[in-house]
Structure 1
Amino acid sequence: MPTPTGTRIADAHRFVTEISELAQKVRKTEVGKVTGAASTSIDELLLTADQLLSDPSVEASAAGRHRGASLALRTALEIAVDRTLDAGMPGLAGITTRAKMLCPRFCTAATTARRANAVWSHLCLGCHYHQYEIGPTRDQVHSWHAEVSEMVGELASY
């Protein structure tokens, strides 16, 4: 028997909140780290996104899993950008993420910076819930996953 819409929305909201809390914990542990175990958190976030997309046994609606995967991917990209900026332009820890997403063009190739900003913008739209919008599809999140995985590798090379 399908669950009522209100219950699915509550489940999706709870699930995205849990992913958001996980992302905040990861960001807090990233502060001050430059190499080593810090790369594990990006790998874990990418793995989390992959599991959310491929494991239907997760107790959330498909829309909730897609939003959760989008949030994990966005966090992984933000951490990769933070690392790149810390290496190339130290002292940017206090600025907003939106401002940070404009800075990679000064320490990476222009195409890399544009791609990172574009996928980050899509992920931001994908992980925010609006009652009047349909969430991201599985195919969209899969394409974002591939793009973020590639961007993480490219940003690590700078």
Structure 2
Amino acid sequence: MAAGVTPAGVDRRLAVADRLLREPELVEAAVWPRACTWLIRIAVEHAVDGYWARTIPAVATTNRRAQFVVLRHREPDVGPAAEELWSRLSRAAHHHAYELAPTASELRTWHGEAERVAAVLGA
């Protein structure tokens, strides 16, 4: 299993994201929403990586999109939601001058969804 791809690694990233949501002054005002987004996205990715490492290690060698296609079929209760969450986080994580950063409310929602995905996937 790659470094950080452990239940503790997922929990640690979600805990830091939660702290940023509660204390955004810890980093520069313009930075905290994207930093929080990246932490949540990485937590989701590590939860998925851990799931594949435990269930079908060969799937872990495919690209992320392929992993989510297989996950939708293997885990229909969480796979589609995990894929949608990852896509939203991916879009939000990349800064574009013409787009606003995610709001605290969006980030809190995504954080809760990431906790659910991690719990169901066993991370």
TM-score normalised over the length of structure 2: 0.89
Q: Which has the larger radius of gyration?
A: 1
Find the residue that maps to 2:66 and give its secondary structure: helix
Counterpart CA distance in 2 for 1:28 and 1:89 is 15
Q: Which residue of 1 aligns with 2:22?
A: 54
Deviations 1:38-67 (A, max 9, x none): 211111100110111111331311x42111
Deviations 1:56-104 (A, max 9, x none): 331311x421111111111111111111122222213332222222221
Counterpart CA distance in 2 for 1:59 and 1:153 is 28
Find the residue that maps to 1:135 and give its secondary structure: coil
- Residue 148 (str. 1) matches residue 114 (str. 2): yes
Find the residue that maps to 1:86 and give its secondary structure: helix
Structure 2 contact 52–60 (Cα < 8 Å) conserved: no
Counterpart CA distance in 1 for 2:39 and 2:4 is 15
The AA in structure 2 aligned to 1:93 is A
Q: Which residue of 1 aligns with 2:3?
A: 29
- Residue 82 (str. 1) matches residue 18 (str. 2): no
Counterpart CA distance in 2 for 1:90 and 1:54 is 36
Query: Number of residues paired by the alignment?
Result: 123
Counterpart CA distance in 1 for 2:4 and 2:90 is 20
Alignment of 1:106-121 (within 5 A): 106-108=73-75, 110-121=76-87
Structure 1 contact 92–100 (Cα < 8 Å) conserved: yes
Counterpart CA distance in 2 for 1:149 and 1:137 is 18
Structure 1 contact 45–76 (Cα < 8 Å) conserved: yes
Long gaps (5+) in structure 1? 1-26, 32-37
Deviations 1:127-147 (A, max 9, x none): 110011111111000000011
Percent sequence identity over matched residues?
28
- Residue 138 (str. 1) matches residue 104 (str. 2): yes
Find the residue that maps to 2:26 and give its secondary structure: coil
